[in-house]
Amino acid sequence: MLLRGPYRVSRNPMYLGAGLILAGRYALWGSRTLIIYTLLFMIGFHLRVLLVEEPWARQRFGGEWDAYRARVPRWLL
C-alpha cells in the first residue's frame, strides 16, 4: 500500500486539522469556553473513531487495515 499526503502521518488528519484550528482560535482569543468546546470536540471524535470508524475499517479491509494501523498513528503519537 502506497501512503501519500497527510494519511501517512495520521489516520485521522481531517479531525486533527479541525481540532488544531479550534485550538488556534483558543490561542488567539484565550476564551475558556472555546478551549472547553475544543476538548469536547476532540473527545467526541476520538470516541467516534474508536467505536465506529475503526471497527468498520477492520471489518471492511481486514489485514490491510491492520498493516496500515501498525504503521500510522491514530492521531500523531
Asked if residue 23 belongs to a domain, the reply is no
> What pLDDT does 1 receive?
61
> What pLDDT does 59 receive?
96
Main-chain dihedrals φ then ψ at residue 16, nearest 5 degrees: -60, -45
Asked if residue 18 belongs to a domain, the reply is no
Candidates 5, 6, 28, 31; CA nearest to 16 is 6
Question: Residue 21 and residue 29: Cα distance in Å, rounded?
Answer: 12
pLDDT tens for each residue of 7-29: 899 999 999 999 999 999 988 99
For the chain, percent of residues with pLDDT exceeding 90: 75
Asked if residue 24 belongs to a domain, the reply is no
Q: Domain span at residue 62?
A: 33-71
Asked if residue 27 belongs to a domain, the reply is no
How would you classify residue 72: left for phi > 0, otherwise alpha for psi between -120 and 50, otherwise beta?
A: beta
Taking residues 36-42, report their average pLDDT.
93
Let me know how long the chain is.
Answer: 77
Grid coordinates in use for 64?
490491510
Asked if residue 6 belongs to a domain, the reply is no
Asked if residue 14 belongs to a domain, the reply is no
Taking residues 40-50, report their average pLDDT.
95
pTM, full prediction:
0.81
